[in-house]
Amino acid sequence: MEKWKIYTKTGDKGETSLIGGTRVPKNHIRIEAYGTIDELNAFVGLIRDHDIAPHHREVLLKIQECLFIAESLLAKDPEQTQIKLPCLSQADIKLLEEEIDKMNAELPELSHFILPGGNLESSYAHVARCICRRAERIIISLSAQVEVQPNVLQYINRLSDYFFVLARKLAQEKGTGDTIWKAKACD
């Protein structure tokens, strides 16, 4: 196995390579898409490193693996390479839906907007939700220019829902619960 070098000096002028070798500027929308997912992945690791239930940790590890797959799919230039990459499947999306449904069944019914926060772990899950939504917006913009595997967008969309429910569940498990937003009437 070839040893990886941390620095290559090939990006010193503001460009990077997609999978397949195509050079693009580092602010290219494709780089923004998978870079934002990379940011999300790092945040998921931060949540996983906190004192949360082992089951949540296991699910978050699976999510991190799926996010790596999504990153690679977005980094691939299909016109320049036929490299076979792993894919996101409907089973990956179904896992998120099942987890959402399980957690939601144990939470009080939501009838108001809630404010992010409650405890550190819940707050981190809310930040992950926001990063996930940003990634989704960027992927939608990218998909207007090039073909994006549909499961990538669907997975990221469902993942933001997962983080919302996880934030509520972590708040419940830590005893802080939801903070209901109470709208002020205008004068």
CA distance 38 to 69: 11
Say which residues have a Cβ less than 8 Å from residue 46's Cβ, sequence separation at least 6: 124
Q: pLDDT band for 4, please (50, 70, 90 cuts).
A: low
| Residue 10 within a domain | no
**Averaged pLDDT score across all residues of the chain:** 88
Domain membership of residue 61 as a residue range: 26-180
| Residue 58 within a domain | yes
Q: Which residue has the higher pLDDT, 48 or 146?
A: 48
| Residue 4 within a domain | no
Domain count, the chain: 1
Total-model pTM: 0.89
| Residue 14 within a domain | no
What are the tens digits of pLDDT across the range 74-114? 887 766 667 777 789 999 999 999 999 999 999 999 888 99
Task: Determine contact, residues 26/15, Cβ cutoff 8 Å.
Answer: yes
| Residue 111 within a domain | yes
Q: Which residue has the higher pLDDT, 152 or 32?
A: 152
CA distance 156 to 147: 16
| Residue 74 within a domain | yes
Q: Indicate if the pLDDT at residue 24 is higher than 70.
A: no
Tell me, what's the pLDDT at 168?
Answer: 96
